[in-house]
Amino acid sequence: MTTPIVLTDPVPVAIRRRAFLPADPLGAAGTLVIVGLILLAILGPVAAPYPLQGTGTANVHEAMLPPGPGHLLGTDQLGRDVLSRIIVGTRNAIGVSFAVVGLAIAIGVPLGAIAGYRRGRIDAVIMRATDLALAFPSLLLAMAIVAALGPGLEHAAIALAISWWPWYTRLSRATAASLRERPFVEAARAIGVSDLRIIFGHIIPNSLSPIIVQATIDIGTVILAAGSLAFIGLGARAPEADWGLMVSEGRTVILDQWWIPTFPGLAIFIAVLAFNLVGDGLRDRFDPRHQR
């Protein structure tokens, strides 16, 4: 999995408050979708027309119905309403992706900031560790972790977080290295502020804009990655509602009951697209030309 590194000049987050104005219609549409997804994730099964089917209860006598009244997106091989399954699956998708990205940021950003600010030996040690982590094939790592801990969504999430943090370390280090030359950092040093306070009080807060842009796009990528892991059996297990798992479960019947894998796949597509559009919009908003 490759993550495009987005390097933008850090910009005060105060400007961010205006970042979602409809100057960017695609970004605005993406934002609406994301808000909708988050709502669904919070509401969970309650929002689904058939909550029990959504969470996995079989309904065999209605199996493999095509889309129609009563089941807007049809039912799957066990008669479960596809729409409900997708809605319930939103919680997994959003939850896992936010958790993975959140964990990657929590680990990667401080490490990178320390490396970029302190330079010298600490920098070398951290960056070599990062290089090692990056060189490790993530799929292999995921398989190893699942083999060790057993299958399941949470373990897949851990595997993903472990493969993801190095990107944030790199990004954060580059930003920290450029920020450390800025006058306000020198001014803080001249006042006598300790290194740790400078890193967490000045460097990291001012590094947020490229990290936010990267994180937004990454959420989409993680959804995709989690889906892929589930597809090959390394993530969520039946009867959990998970978009990737649903695509996997439906792949054998794609020609006849096309709706079973297609709609979950579409859900993945729309979610990833929304996050990408918002990320692009944020990147444009944070562009240096918006700086005074």
Residues making contact with other proteins (CB under 8 A): 11-14, 23, 182-184, 186-194, 197, 202, 205-206, 292
CB-based contact 85:264 (threshold 8 Å): yes
Nearest approach in angstroms of CB 209 to other proteins is 11
Nearest approach in angstroms of CB 16 to other proteins is 11
Nearest approach in angstroms of CB 276 to other proteins is 24
> Which residue lies nearer to other proteins by CB, 136 or 184?
184
> Which residue lies nearer to other proteins by CB, 174 or 193?
193
Nearest approach in angstroms of CB 185 to other proteins is 8
Nearest approach in angstroms of CB 17 to other proteins is 12
> Which residue lies nearer to other proteins by CB, 121 or 289?
289
> Which residue lies nearer to other proteins by CB, 92 or 206?
206
> Which residue lies nearer to other proteins by CB, 75 or 209?
209
Nearest approach in angstroms of CB 191 to other proteins is 5
> Which residue lies nearer to other proteins by CB, 192 or 288?
192
